[in-house]
Structures are given as C-alpha cells and as structure tokens.
A and B are shown apart, each in its own frame.
Chain A
Amino acid sequence: MSGNQIKQEVEDRERRKIKSTAAMRDLMLKYYMEAKAAEGTDKKIAWITSGGPVEPLICFDVIPVYPENHGAMCGAAHMNVELCEVAEGMGFSRDLCSYARGDIGSAVTKGGPIGGLPKPDFLVCCNNICNTVLKWYEELSRFFDVPLYIYDTPFVRGSLPSHTRDFAVRQMEEYIGFLERMTGREFDEQRFLEVAARSFAAISLWGQILSCNSAKPAPMTCFDAFILMAPIVTLRGTQEVVDFYDGLLREMRERVEQGIGILPSEKRRVLWDNIPIWYEMRNLGRLFMELETCLVADTYTNAWTFEGVDPERPMESMAEAYAEVYLNINLERMADRMVGLAERFQVDGMVMHSNRSCKPYSLGQYDLAREFTKRTGLPVLIIEADHTDSRWYNRAEVEGRIRDFVENLL
C-alpha cells in the first residue's frame, strides 16, 4: 500500500467514525461518577429495571441506576462470568438470567469495571420486560434491606384492555406517593410535566435517529445503537439527554446527506433480534464489516421508541406506553413490529440471537422466524448464545453460520 493509500484509508475511517460517541462516553461517565459519589450522601439512589418508568425518579431528583446497563458493561468488559460464578456459588442456578446473576455477584463483591454500583436507597421493579426481574429485585431487596416498589404491568394480548390501563394509572399515582415517602418531598406536577416533555422529546429524537438508518448506506449499525442507547435507557427525562440526542440526530442527518456509511462497503442489510451478545460486540462488528453487511436495525433499541405518547396527558399515556413495550405483547404483535422494521429499513434477512438465559425474548423466536419469512420472504438465521454469559458461546460455530448465511443472502 502506498503512503497515499494509507493516508486515504485513515481519513476515510476518520470520516466514518460517529463523533457523538465521545460525548456519550462523557455523559455516561459523568452519570456513573455522580451516582457513585452520591452513595452515602443525602441524595437518593434507586435501582430500576430497564423498562421501568424512570421519569418520576428524575422528577424527584432521585438518581436512577440500571443494573441491566451495568450488566451490559460488565459483559462487554468480559467480567460478567466471574460475577455470575459468585452468584452460582451462593446457590443461584446457572440457568437464571445472566444479568441477574452478574448483578447479584457484583452487589456482593463490588466487582466489575467500575467497582460495583452505588448502594440503593430503594428499588423500582417493572415486570414489563420479564417476570425474572421480580425475583431478581426481591433478592436485591432482601440483600440491601431496602424497600421495593413493584410497578406491575400484566401481559397484553391484542389491544390494551381498559382494566389493564386503569391498573397502570392507579399504580402511576401510587408510585408517586411511594416516591414522596422515600424522598420526603412533595410531588411537583409542573416539574413532572417538564420531565415528561423532555422524556418524550428524547424518545422522539431517538426514534428519528434510528430512522436515519433507512438510508443507504446506513449511517450506523445496530452495534452503535446498542452503545448509543445508554442515555435513553438510563437518563431520559433530563435536558442533557435531549441535548445529546439532538446532536446525534444532526450528525446522523449530515451523514445521510453526505452519503457517509458506517461500513466501508455496504452490500447487504440485516435486522437483529434480541439483546446484544455484549462480550462479542467487537468480534461480531468486525465480522459483519468484513462481510460487507450492515446490521441496520434491531428489535432491542427500537423498544425505546414508544409511539403515541401524548404530552397533554402525560401520566396516562406514559402508563400506556410502559404497559405495551415490545416484550409485554403477544407474538403476533411482535411479528408485526419485526416485519415493520424489515420494511422500513429494507433488510435482506434477519439474525436472531437465541438468548439462553432470557426467556421472554427468546421463547417464541422459532415461530416468529417462520412468520417473518412467511410475510417478508426473507431468510432468518438463529444463533445460540447468551447476552452476558460467554460460557455458552461457541465462537467458531456462530461465526461460521453467520458467514454461510450472509453469503447466501440475495
């Protein structure tokens, strides 16, 4: 390679890099540092599930901490297995959700890349993503000896029944009361409206950002989205998050206008299903780049793009949105969403991660795959792994299957 070629390649790589990633790293670093610093002070800390209503916490100035986000971090840092082993040593089965096992291990040992999470003052568990979180948070509540608020979101088949909506709204009110008790502060409705408005703004920005990927070439892959989603999961409702996604959207739009794709060459486009395989992100990213295949969309990051949130009735519409998240609906509705993503992002096929320790996301995938192919005519590959327990992962086999699959696309 000549000096010029090398220079050009370096420039090209630089051009393709997503610049906002640095801002996000700063944002998340600041967030974790503040959260850790708050431990033992008057500031309240709550641990909350990823699908839980975080806006009320922001409204009460409670610092929300997400064990699942931390789990992803531990997974990506290749540290979750040792944490899982701690939990297994305590008698937790190897077959339980590896986020839960890792989190329990980290709570006990303060292990992981940031030395564990700050101790919670109370816990908020919303079962709209799974019933596993109930068991996990019960255990946390016993371990830390702190109160647990359960925001209960019964499964929704078909359209949202009115008694399910009423139950959700009643709990939203009760949850506010719980927070008043926990913080010793009164609910400030004006503040809540502002937080809700910012949350909706961030969610809508996030939706637009993901939509940019319908462009060809796609300005990012879902591996980027998995990383860039951290603020929407953890801090939606704050102004920083709105500002951050504002910047990210601008960047994405510019990329689309200038035709800057995330891959040097994009020949095929694929949809991803299920939680990322956190410990394999790098390798898989490289593999797909080499195969000139862009993972343009996924069912996971799109779970944070609620539709139909109404700023005029934030409490109710928020309750509705939390009731009908992706994992809390029947397979037919999930298939509709998948097919919708395939069409919007013009994919050539789908890769499904059959995730050994996440049942709500994985059981039903075989049927979804068939339904997807029936309706779109597109092929599906199902690979076996676990979101953070790498002991179940067979790299050679998975990579071989991905190669075969991608090479046969189109």
Chain B
Amino acid sequence: MSSSEVAITPRVHYLNVDYGIKSWLLTTDHKRIAWMYLMSITFFFAIGGVAATLMRLNLVEPQGLLVEPETYNKLFSTHGIVMVFFFLVPSIPAVLGNFLIPMMLGARDVAFPRLNLLSWYVFMTGGSFVLYALIAGGVDTGWTFYTPLSSMYLNTHVMAAASGIFIAGFSSILTGLNFVVTIHKMRAPGLTWFRLPLFIWAMYASSIIFIIATPVIAISLALIVIERFFHVGIFDPALGGDPILFQHLFWFYSHPAVYVMILPSMGVMSELVTAFSRKKIFGYHFVAFSSVAIAAIGFLVWGHHMFVSGQSIYAGLVFSALSFAVAIPSAVKVFNWTATLYKGSISYEAPMLYALGFIGLFTIGGLTGLYLAATALDQHVHATYFVIAHFHYIMVGGAVMGYMGGIHFWWPKMTGRLYPDGWARVAAIIIFVGFNLTFFPQFILGYLGMPRRYAVYPPEFQTLNVISTAGASILGLGYIIPLIYLAWSARYGAPAGPNPWKATGLEWTTSSPPPTHNFEETPVVTEEPYGYDRIAEEIQVA
C-alpha cells in the first residue's frame, strides 16, 4: 500500500460502502440498481447487435451470404425483440433515469426502493424467457408478433418469447409507477415543477406512457399465448376472430413505446445542449410541455402502422392527420435546442458530439416519418427499407445517440472517474459516420422498392446493400471502443471531482461518486434550472 493511499482516508460512497455479490443483488439503492440495469442491457445490446451483424453480412450477396431464409427470419426477430424490449425501452429510463431522478430531485432514493429492485428481477425473468426462446431454437414472428402468423402458423418458440415480453412489461410498469410517484412526492424543498430539469419532464412523460400503454401489450401478448395454447380464434379469421384487432392492440402500445424510447433521449439532449453551450435553455416551458404533448398525442396515432393492412380508409385519414400533429411538439424541441445553441459558447466534448449528432439524425428521422404518415406515399414505401431507415434514424440516431451522450455526460458522476476524452470524441465521430453509412442507403433502397424482412433481393440492389453493410461494420467498431475505454476508466481514469463539466443541476452539487443517500443534507432549491449565466460570472470572478 502506497503512502498516499494511507494518508487520505477514502471517502465512503455508494460503490465502496459494501462489497460482494449479495450487496448488489439485494441492494435497494437506486444507483446500484441503475448499474445492474446498465450491465443487463449492455448484454442484451450485444445479443441484438450480433443478430444485426449477421443480417447485414447475409445481405452482402443477393442470394444470401450466410444463412438460410428461415434463420434470417429468426435473426431479424431476435434483433427486433431484444433491441426494442430489452435494450431501447429500458435503456435511458432504467439506467440514467434510475440513477439521476432521485439526485436531480434532491431525494435520498426513489419512492419505492424495494419495488425498484423487484422491477430489475422481473426484467431479468422476462429476459431469461426470451433467452430461452433464442437458445431453444429461436422465434421468427418478427418483433411485431402479427396474428394469425404468430398464433397459428409458426412452430417456433413464440410462447416463450411472448411470455418473456409480457413479464418484462411489468418491469416497465413498476419503473414508470416508481418514477411518477417519485417526481410527484419526493422533490426537494423549493423544487417546483418549473424548476425541474427538463430530463425529469421527459422521464415523467415517458413514465406516463409506461403506465398507460404497457398493460395493453401485456394483455395482447397474453391473448396470443391463449390463442396458441387453447387453439381458439381470438384473432384468427378462420375461427371467427379478426387479425386487425391484434394490430390495434399491439400498436396502441408499440407506437407510444417509440416515444418511450425517444423522449428520455430528448430529456438528455436538453441537459447536454445547455451544459456545452453554456446557456439557459431557450423556451423552457415549451420544451417541458412538448414532452407531455408528445406523450399524449403519441397515443392517438397508432393506426399509421396499419394503412395497408385492411384498416378502414376513414380511420386511416384520422390517424394520418393525428400523426402529422405529433410532429409539432417534436419540432418545437429541435427548434428550441437549435435556438439554445445560437450564440452559445459551444465546446465539443464527447457528450456534445452525440448531442449534435442527435439533432441532425433525429431531424432526418422525424421528417421521413412524415412521409410515412401520408397515406398515399405510405402505400408505396410501406414495409420497405424506407421504414427501416426511418425508424433506425429515430431509434439509433435518436435514442441510442442520446443514451451514449447521457452515459458519457454522467459517467464521471456514476464512477467518479474521467474517461479519455480523445478516444470518446473519436468513437462519437465513428458512430456518426458508421450510422449514416449504414442507414442512409436504406432510404434509397426502400424508395426503390426493396421490401424489409427478406433474406434475398434482386441483384441491382447489391451496391447499396454492400455500402450499408460496410457502414454497419464501422458502426459496430464505434460501439466497441466506448465499451473498452469506459471499462478502463472506471478503474484507472483520473478522479472527476463533483462537477467536471461545470454543469448546473442538483446531481452535480454532491460528490462523485455520490454517497448512498445522495446528499449530505437535503438541498434547498431557490432558482430556475440551467443558470449558466451565473456560473459564467462565478468563473470570471474566480
């Protein structure tokens, strides 16, 4: 033991207060639960990533390079199910939300810490069902589980996968419930609704979606399991049911679920854009209420997934119009971030690179969404690679960029260490380049008419597919680099200090890593968030 370590008594914080596997598996500390989620979803991300890699490799050749078409069906189903339900939905809420919400509120913990731990176990139980389904031979319904394909015709492990998602859904519900109650009842003295960081508003909005929408996916998957098990015709036209009903129930959850994935990312964005342009957010109230508006209007648009599946054209018209409406609050956010950047003193640290990437990619993803919301154009591009490209611009270009930006921004708080900034910037740029190279060609492919979910394609599409696969390998590299330097920094990184970014927000007022109950004494809030003008003055004085 060196002399310097003896001289300074190590401070007790949430990471070193207790050791051993039991202290983690039985913890009720929201920060440790966030870590357990981080580990779990990184694992699931790897599974989904491997499936995606194999798919892209297969598409290098028009006749399929690697796998049989049946295997390809299993690969895209695995990719979709794992990435949506076990990575994107829990990503920011369960990791950053769990870690940050109590700290941003000045609370000691979430309202129901034991429920919080339970939700992790529920999540892992659901995850193991899905893992079982994958190991036992896979599932090939696609992540949408459309009936009667899923309920009558496929002999793969649909029931295990559906049960897994059913169970994992309750984890979302419990997390959302916990967050709403925490935000309502655990705010520090003086922390009024309009003094809350915008991350909290975004998490509040997505928690509402968790609460309202998740039970519906649970019941619709339960109905599939019942239909398969008892061979009754809830959704089977041959037995009297109607398959479109399943699509209604499914998309009533799954469209709002898209907003569950993007809203928390938008919340992260508001934190990053202000911190690295050293400015107050432009139009706080508009950004805050646009989160709630996205959550609310997001429930009214699900029918735009069903324009060509036999839905009534009148319903299609209504859903189309409402889908255009949801673009308004989304655009409000983009405009406000851009206006925040205007005349800010912008610095380009790694989290900011992700944030700037987000703004551009989300804009592309959002605007192409309007193409798909137009009933006439959707007839042409429905179920093509255009759709794939659109939602990957939202899900990866938006949600994952926000998640990566958030992880990089709060990593010093979570670990108390700094990561190598140079590497982080390089990785951010690699991800941005790789992402665009992967998915922009898919817009063109889709517009030219290449359908999604096929293992083979006409030879004239090969060039664009090869470009896309090349981009995917760059993207894959971009995701591996952060894994390495972040893991390295957790042990060997330079100590971060309480506030390495000179950012505002209660979470930066406590030490890094924070003590078990977050604050030495309950903070009192006396001003609005994002007071970067004041910080600038303080720095000048000092």
Bound together: no
CB within 8 Å of B: which residues of A? none
